[in-house]
Amino acid sequence: MIDMGDAHAEALPAPAGFGSRWIKIIAVAFTSLTGLACFVILAMVAIILGDIVIHGLPGISWEFLSAAPKAGMTEGGIFPAIFGTVALVLLMTLAVVPLGVAAAVYLQEYASQDSKLVSLVRLALQNLAGVPAIVFGLFGLGLFVEFAGGSIDALFFGGKLTFGQPCIFWASLTLAVLTLPTVVVATEESLRAVPRSYREAAYALGATRWQVVRYVVLPQSIGGILTGTILAISRGAGEVAPIMFTGAAYFLPHLPTKLNDQFMELGYHVYVMATQSPDVEATKPILYATVFVLLAVTFALNFAAVLIRSRIRRRLRST
Amino acid sequence: MTPIIEFRKFSAWYGDAPSLQEVTLQVPPHEILGVIGPAGGGKTTLLRSLNRMNDFEPRFRCEGDVLFHGLDLYRQPVDVAVLRRKMGMVFAVPVPLPGSILQNLELGPRLDGRSGGMDGRIETCLKAAYLWDEVKDRLDLAAQSLSGGQQQRLCLARSLMLQPEVLLLDEPCSGLDPISTAKIEEALQLLKKDLTVILVTNNVMQASRVADRTAFFLQGKLVEWGPTQQIFVNPREKLTHDYISGRFG
């Protein structure tokens, strides 16, 4: 290879007063520093994942995955928590995707872009994204469990405690509020990416605004919407604070079967075992294995969403 | 003959910038009106004022009248969707929508709530757009995999599926090869039996080849319009003469 550095040095002599040696040193230093930053990130991920895999994998067995906890969480499995996590995340997705997509469609397609309302909603979403998770937990307890649940009980169940208590329904709605900004922002992004020319072509064919959204804009942005869903799932599946007061249970002998049942959840289970267990040392292997399963479940949910997305994309392309 | 389209002292602005100034012009049915002039002259504004595509420009405003079959498009209540179905539009850059050739063609009628029994019309429209022989065996192919010239003819066929009365063509051949251009020009000659065409073009020669009448726009003003023969052989205005002989543009 030709040494371009020297060729340049001949053609463009370094400015006087600032030695070319220094420029080279600074360049090398910068390259190393940026490289180092990347290495630190890699190392952190490797250490975290490695630690979890090394300590968690031995604890994984069929019994661990399929049985309920026993003996004050020091024995048995975590199936109820796996089930609860999956159910929670699915319910959350059902709630957040239609709401988020509808909001994004309104903001992007219907509202006038310089209206005060639109900037207000965008500001609200940004603030929502910055609210600490624990605040969502308390908010969910106050608004959903106490207020909404209490009202439902008073109106439909004659005051009998039915929805006015922490349960999977309120927990999933709380998580939906937490992940709403993610879905709205991702959807808006993908709506914006639909070329103006497509919309104009559809309008020129006599489409109404709704038809443009239905036949042109939404089919085009389905990939971005699902990306938002994936991000929401990743975020929602790992959160403990929002569900602590709104539905997650320490231990339950049965699986949730109704919307107003409480449930066990992997992240909360980890928190409980790490802080509330009478014998922390004895639960440690189970703790590691649970963290491993939590990561695996989050990954599996993500992977399922990615599969769905690629399948839809393929179907759109093949036609 | 009563004109199908008529502009009466029509002026238009985008924000403060005037785009058209007091344009008065009549378009008789079953003719091709060629609209020529340098960029920024208001040609596209004229076209988009007809099917109300300017509605999407928040800063657009206009004065004067545009009449379609005597209906004042900006003063009388108009169902814009219906209006746009009566005025098919083809853009400068071909815009095949995602999906197959067939889906593109069916979209217009489908938006109107009609579906099924369109096979005959699809063939007619593709033939009218000189595209049938190239795609008849592969209507399921993605529209975006066609060549640029084929895409533009598909867009023409897609507009024809609406059975419009008017075709608005905004420099439809600007990015096309000579063969595709020739095919579109041939198609237009046959189409004017059934409809009226307004053809905005940057290619002065194209106007002289296909237009029955030609209008020359410069900086928002209609400098001159009349039978194509007269505009090209014996223009009244020196500006027109200078433009068509390529002295500026």
Is the predicted pLDDT of residue A266 greater than 70, yes or no?
yes
A319 — pLDDT class (breaks 50, 70, 90): very low
| A202 interaction partners in chain B (CB closer than 8 Å) | 97, 107, 111
Q: What is the model's pLDDT at position B48?
A: 92
Q: What value does the mean pLDDT of chain A take? A: 84
Phi–psi pair at B219, nearest 5 degrees: 50, 45
Q: How many CB pairs under 8 A join A and B?
A: 63
DSSP string, chain A: ---HHHHHHHHSPPPTTS-HHHHHHHHHHHHHHHHHHHHHHHHHHHHHHHHHHHHHGGG--HHHHHS-EETTTTEE--HHHHHHHHHHHHHHHHHHHHHHHHHHHIIIIIS-TT-HHHHHHHHHHHHHHHS-HHHHHHHIIIIIIIIIIHHHHHHHSTT-SSSSS--HHHHHHHHHHHHHHHHHHHHHHHHHTS-HHHHHHHHHTT--HHHHIIIIIHHHHHHHHHHHHHHHHHHHHH--HHHHTTTB-S--SS---STT--B--HHHHHHHHHHT-S-HHHHHHHHHHHHHHHHHHHHHHHHHHHHHHHHHHHHHHH-
CATH class of B5-97+165-244: alpha beta
Q: What is the model's pLDDT at position A11?
A: 56
Q: What is the model's pLDDT at position A13?
A: 57
Q: Do residues A258 and A78 lie in contact, with contact meaning Cβ atoms separated by under 8 Å?
A: no
CB pair distance less than 8 Å for A205 and B158: yes
CB pair distance less than 8 Å for A204 and B51: yes
Q: Do residues B207 and B36 lie in contact, with contact meaning Cβ atoms separated by under 8 Å?
A: yes
A215 contacts chain B (CB < 8 A): yes
User: Residues B167-189: what's their mean pLDDT?
Assistant: 88
User: Residues B12-24: what's their mean pLDDT?
Assistant: 90
**CA of A206: which chain B residue's CA is closest?**
B81
**A129-143 pLDDT per residue, tens:** 888 889 988 988 888
Alpha-carbon gap: A107 to the closest alpha carbon of chain B (Å): 16
CB pair distance less than 8 Å for B97 and A211: no
CATH class of A60-318: mainly alpha
A318 — pLDDT class (breaks 50, 70, 90): low
Is the predicted pLDDT of residue A1 greater than 50, yes or no?
no
Domain ranges for chain A:
4-51, 60-318
A202 contacts chain B (CB < 8 A): yes
CB pair distance less than 8 Å for A198 and B88: no
**A167-224 pLDDT per residue, tens:** 888 999 999 999 999 999 999 999 999 999 999 999 999 999 999 998 889 888 888 8
**A3-59 pLDDT per residue, tens:** 444 544 455 555 555 677 888 888 899 999 999 999 999 999 999 999 999 988 888
Is the predicted pLDDT of residue A69 greater than 80, yes or no?
no
Please report, rounded to a whole number, the percentage of residues in chain B having pLDDT higher than 90: 50
> Which of A110-119, B110-119, B184-193 shows the lowest per-residue confidence on average (mean pLDDT)?
B110-119
- For residue A223, give the nearest of A318, A313, A88 by alpha carbon: A313
Beta strand B60-68 with B17-27: parallel, antiparallel or unpaired?
A: unpaired
Rounded CA gap, A25 and B223, in Å?
Answer: 67
Please report, rounded to a whole number, the percentage of residues in chain A having pLDDT higher than 90: 25
| B142 interaction partners in chain A (CB closer than 8 Å) | 317, 319
Optimal mutation site among B95, B141, B152, interface A, most CBs of chain A within 10 A: B95
**B63-73 pLDDT per residue, tens:** 999 999 989 99
Q: What is the model's pLDDT at position A165?
A: 82
| B140 interaction partners in chain A (CB closer than 8 Å) | 319
Q: Write the ipTM.
A: 0.91
Domain ranges for chain B:
5-97+165-244
